[in-house]
Structure 1
Amino acid sequence: MVTATFRFYEELNDFLAPRRRRREFTVPCAEAATTKHMIEALGVPHTEVELVLVNGESAGLDRLLEDGDRVAVYPHFRTIDVTPLLRVHAPPPRDPRFVADAHLGGLAHMLRLLGFDTLYDNRFHDDIIVALAGQEGRIVLTRDRELLKRRAVAQGCYVHALKSAAQLREIVARLDLIRGARPFTRCLHCNAPLRPVDKASVLDRLPPRVRSHYDDFSTCDVCGRVYWKGSHWRNMRRLLDGVLAAEET
């Protein structure tokens, strides 16, 4: 029987059984088991792994395990550039697009506020999410680790935080989204890009108070909604500024 010794680092330990956290442990492996098979069998989705070392050498998720192998598994690095060592995943796209599962509506809304293309519908089933991710090159956002273990999911993020604002900070930090943020350029309801529009052309769609107090507007050509810099905009601006400032320091 093939056995291998594993050690998981940092937040990957959250996925493990308590007795296996932050320590080496040796387990029997299935016949012809790959690193992916065993890492996920132990509870860690492959999307959460950035670097795998087998006997000290970088390995891919398709590496067949041999008796006595020592496997070190690392999460995504933020402060160290390990690009030359990577064998696990391609780097995330420069202009990332997302699909969020049914439990992350608040996060999806906030990512749209930042200007990121984010699909969300609370009626999306897992198969639809996986299909959209594959067809459109989207990053899956979820708190369902089993969804991220699907082989067809090339890129995804397990969201640890429970509150929407904390979830946004987590994803912005993990994927380094600061430079790509374009706040208030996307419709919060249908995800389409917004465009500036003359006040006169939307006058009949504005509440009386808005007509008299605001002059700058944008609109969505898909759903027809009109946006202006009212109190809701200012509240969201403060929230986003706090998230962005925290990541820049």
Structure 2
Amino acid sequence: MNGPEIHVSFAPELRLFIAAERRRPRAAVVTDGVSTLGHVIESLGVPLTEVGALSVDGRPVPASHVPAAGEEVEVRAVARPQEVPGAPLRFLLDVHLGTLARRLRLLGVDAAYESDDIGDPALAALSASQQRVLLSRDRGLLRRRELWAGAYIYSDRPEEQLRDVLSRFTPPLAPWTRCTACNGPLQDADKEAVREQLEHGTRRTYDVFAQCITCGRVYWRGAHHRRLEAIVEKAVREFGAAAA
């Protein structure tokens, strides 16, 4: 770029996206004089999915504002909790977030997940066609124009990822109502009706079952239930459950 110089201040939460030499509180940026402020911000590495209020010389402006020489720009992080247009709130996770997808489903949150790498254009198009918030750690993916809505996952630890999504979007929680394998709804299942899908030890030990309406997978309170219950209890304690 070779045009007007502006000064940009980023919220501390956004500085991780920016090259080290620009991470100081107030950075000089040379623009081309025609690009929008949103384009300038993204060119510096920050996905607009993570950007909240913008101001120029103390007055609010939209991302479509074209900055002029000498302007002082302030870029804030997205407000939390974040409101997403449309209903119901649904998510789409990329191939690298399988554990997070299963934990969201465990809590009854609608979380579609692509276990195959279908490519960035297809993921963004799926987000748009199904009006799902795309969750990803891929900054380039979150900058795609066809994306309906998105959010960067800041941590690589599943526990922190789950808390980040729940605190940012506050989805209603309905634990134990969704299949962790395919995202379909669960319903109570009669033991005799699912007997053929059970190992002998399971048939002998357990009497209460649920089954996915979509894929037919059967669930019961097996050896891993205590660990899963701890995840559910912690999330419900902090973020609450949906009203029955």
**TM-score, reference length from structure 2:** 0.89
Residue in structure 1 matched with residue 188 of structure 2 by the alignment = 196
Distance 1:170 1:27 in 2: 31
Distance 1:198 1:106 in 2: 29
Q: Which segment drifts farther, 161-170 or 210-219?
A: 210-219
1:18-52 alpha-carbon deviations (Å, 9 max, x no partner): 23224111211123111110110111000001211
Answering whether residue 157 of structure 2 is matched by residue 155 of structure 1, we say no
Answer whether contact 1:76 1:174 (CA < 8 A) is retained: no
Distance 2:69 2:174 in 1: 50
Residue in structure 2 matched with residue 139 of structure 1 by the alignment = 133
1:176-217 alpha-carbon deviations (Å, 9 max, x no partner): 23xx01112111111111112222211222222322332222
Answer whether contact 2:5 2:28 (CA < 8 A) is retained: yes
Two-structure CA RMSD over aligned residues (Å): 2.0
Distance 2:73 2:63 in 1: 11
Distance 1:205 1:154 in 2: 40
Answering whether residue 113 of structure 2 is matched by residue 120 of structure 1, we say yes
Answer whether contact 1:5 1:69 (CA < 8 A) is retained: yes
Describe how 1:1-249 pairs up with structure 2 within 5 A: 1-78=3-80, 91=84, 93=86, 95-123=88-116, 124-177=118-171, 180-247=172-239
* Deviation, structure 1 residue 122: 2.8
Distance 1:229 1:98 in 2: 27
1:130-178 alpha-carbon deviations (Å, 9 max, x no partner): 011000111111111011111222311111111212211111112223x
Answer whether contact 2:33 2:68 (CA < 8 A) is retained: no
Answer whether contact 1:4 1:26 (CA < 8 A) is retained: yes
SS in 1 for 2:148: coil
Change (3 A) 1:41 1:65: same
Q: Which segment drifts farther, 40-49 or 159-168?
A: 159-168
Answer whether contact 1:34 1:61 (CA < 8 A) is retained: yes
Residue in structure 2 matched with residue 86 of structure 1 by the alignment = none
Instruction: Look up the equivalent residue of 2:178 and give its one-letter code.
Output: R
Instruction: Look up the equivalent residue of 1:141 and give its one-letter code.
Output: L
Residue in structure 2 matched with residue 87 of structure 1 by the alignment = none
SS in 2 for 1:50: strand
**TM-score, reference length from structure 1:** 0.87
- Poorly superposed stretches of 4+, deviation over 4 Å: none
Instruction: Look up the equivalent residue of 1:128 and give its one-letter code.
Output: A
Answer whether contact 2:33 2:66 (CA < 8 A) is retained: no
Number of residues paired by the alignment? 237
Instruction: Look up the equivalent residue of 1:239 and give its one-letter code.
Output: I
Distance 1:43 1:207 in 2: 52
Segments of structure 2 that go 5 or more residues without pairing to the other structure are: none
1:85-119 alpha-carbon deviations (Å, 9 max, x no partner): xxxxx635563211111111111111111112212
Answer whether contact 2:9 2:25 (CA < 8 A) is retained: yes
What percent of counterpart residues are identical? 36
SS in 1 for 2:72: strand
Distance 1:63 1:102 in 2: 35
